Structure 1
Amino acid sequence: MSLLIRLAQDSDGYQLIRLIENVFYEYPGCVMDVDGEIPELRRIQTDFAKKGGEFWVAERERRIIGCIGYTPLPTRARSPRGIELKKLYVERWERGHGLAGELVALVEAAARGQEASFVELWSDTRFLPAHRFYRKRGYQASGETRELFDQSDTIEYHFEKRLA
């Protein structure tokens, strides 16, 4: 069962929705409202390209088992250039084998290719295993939080990694 990591296509929407639903199901209170809250899943490649970013999927036997993307952050005067890591999800049975690390490495390589000096991300406060994963990869919690005012009552932690 070989693994393929490739740039996403808009036609991947159905499988991306299924993947993220599976992950949300692991966390009580996480609600999936595609049309109301994350409609970009239906046209993922188009959405990320419009924002100057990229989105990848990992598939095994034509089934999407992981995904990740990034978008550039707005640059401010005298502020370093950065990108935002978005939507890192991996099926439960695929975790612990290095796939998430490979996906994050793609985003970090893209950031370096754009001469970004940092990568930032926001992660739901409920996703404790993800927080451990990010910390192991050198991401630091900034202490900043944000509330999304969505159906899941999401509050997110901010993480950042400086690139060498």
Structure 2
Amino acid sequence: MTSAPDILIRPAVDADGPALADLIRAVFAEYEDCPFVPEEFPELAAPASAFAARNGAMWVAERGGAVVGSLAIAPNQDPGVFELFKVYVAGPERGGGLSARLLERAIAFARAGGGRRIALWSDSRFTRGHAFYLKHGFRRVAGIRALHDAGVTLEFGFARDLGPGPALAARAS
């Protein structure tokens, strides 16, 4: 575990695509039968543009010029609901508050856009991520989504009402 304060969080740019692919590949490698197939992630060709085109945003976290985390958000088809995407943090960076810092940015973005709720889908194998979501006010929603991808991925849904007030400041203290 490392200290998150010396990590820079900045808006993603399209040139981050290869570094994001490397990050996702490394995270997937931690799990059995979880292959990273670049063709299944066309948005990584121009990640900032891909999420901007959806009226969303993406951030990356850097340590020493290397991308060690990411998170994207965009409105989904339901009014007032924003969806999280590309929530990845490199193994050595987990546990130091980086994920919470990225989530704070997403919550602020959603609130500024009139969001009342945040939702996401997460690979059923990513149990550590599930614990993070539950710790930060998300609830598991009914149902499982099958992606029919190379990893035969099944995903669990999570959602969190935003409510009034600061995103995570009260929870983090």
TM norm. shorter chain > 0.5: yes
In 1, Cα distance between equivalents of 2:26 and 2:122: 17
Q: Which runs of 5+ in 1 are unaligned?
A: none
Q: Deviations over 1:76-114 (max 9, x none)?
A: xxxx51100111100000000000010011111111111
1:31 is displaced (CA, Å) by: 1.1
In 2, Cα distance between equivalents of 1:123 and 1:52: 21
Q: What number of residue pairs does the alignment pair up?
A: 159
Matched, 1:70 2:93: no
Instruction: Give the TM-score normalised by the residue count of structure 1.
Output: 0.94
RMSD of equivalent CA atoms:
1.1
In 2, Cα distance between equivalents of 1:140 and 1:2: 31
Matched, 1:38 2:37: no
Secondary structure, aligned partner of 1:11? helix
Per the alignment, residue 129 of structure 2 pairs with 130
Matched, 1:12 2:16: yes
Write the letter of the residue equivalent to 2:22: R
Instruction: Give the TM-score normalised by the residue count of structure 2.
Output: 0.89
1:115 is displaced (CA, Å) by: 1.2
Indicate if the aligned counterparts of 1:2 and 1:61 stay in contact, CA closer than 8 A. Answer: no
In the TM superposition, structure 1's runs of 4+ consecutive aligned residues that sit over 6 Å from their partners are: none
Per the alignment, residue 106 of structure 1 pairs with 105
In 2, Cα distance between equivalents of 1:59 and 1:140: 29
Indicate if the aligned counterparts of 1:56 and 1:69 stay in contact, CA closer than 8 A. Answer: yes
Q: Which runs of 5+ in 2 are unaligned?
A: 164-173
Per the alignment, residue 59 of structure 2 pairs with 56
Per the alignment, residue 168 of structure 2 pairs with none
In 1, Cα distance between equivalents of 2:162 and 2:54: 22
In 2, Cα distance between equivalents of 1:102 and 1:3: 10
> Identity percentage over the alignment?
39
1:2 is displaced (CA, Å) by: 2.7
Per the alignment, residue 47 of structure 1 pairs with 50
Q: Deviations over 1:10-61 (max 9, x none)?
A: 10111101100000000011111112x1111121011111111100000011
